[in-house]
Every structure is written in C-alpha cells, then in structure tokens.
Amino acid sequence: MSFESEDTAKKYWNENIKLVVSLLTVWALVSFGCGILFVDALNEIQFMGFKLGFWFAQQGAIYVFLILIFVYVKKANALDKKYGVDE
C-alpha cells in the first residue's frame, strides 16, 4: 500500500471519482445534450455563420472533448502529487 492509511486511499479515490464524474457530465452535456437533445432549441441561436446546435454537433463537441482530456491530465497528475502516489 502506497498510501499512509486506508483512509487517505479512500479520500484519493473519492476525489478522483469526483473529477471524472464532473468532466463526464460536461462530456455528456455537449454531445448528447447540445449536439442531440437540445439541438433544435439551440439552432434558433445564430453563432457566426452556424446554427448553434449544428455547430456543437459538428465542431464544438470535438473541441470540448479535447479540452476535457487535457484538463483531466493536468488535474489527475496534480491529484497524484498531492497524495504522493505519482510515479
């Protein structure tokens, strides 16, 4: 066991889960949400030359996916350091 106690191991895992769940919420929101479920409502809004819903489905969602992964990389690495379980 690399943690000081079982308690810190639990804390580490809970923080990790919280991070993953919050990022995946955004993931679902931009793709299934903006790109599919709310697409008609968002299409009423003009964004540059795009209807906003269409932009999310064919461009925006992909940009957000990219940001999500890099945010995760940064935060997960910081979390490892905080608990001293980095490589």
The contact set with another protein (CB under 8 A) reads 1-3, 9, 12-13, 16, 20, 23-24, 27, 31-32, 35-37, 39, 43, 47-51, 54-55, 57-59, 61-63, 65-66, 68-70, 72-73, 76-77, 80, 83-87
Residue 80 in contact with residue 86, Cβ under 8 Å? yes
C-beta of 1 vs 7, nearer to another protein: 1
CB of 85 to another protein, least distance (A): 4
User: What is d(CA 59, CA 82) in angstroms, rounded to the nearest whole number?
Assistant: 35
Residue nearer to another protein on the CB measure, 5 or 61: 61
Give the shortest CB-5-to-another protein separation in angstroms: 13
CA distance linking residue 85 with residue 8, whole number of Å: 11
Pairwise CA distance, residues 15 & 21, whole Å = 10
Q: Are 30 and 60 spatial neighbours (Cβ–Cβ below 8 Å)?
A: yes
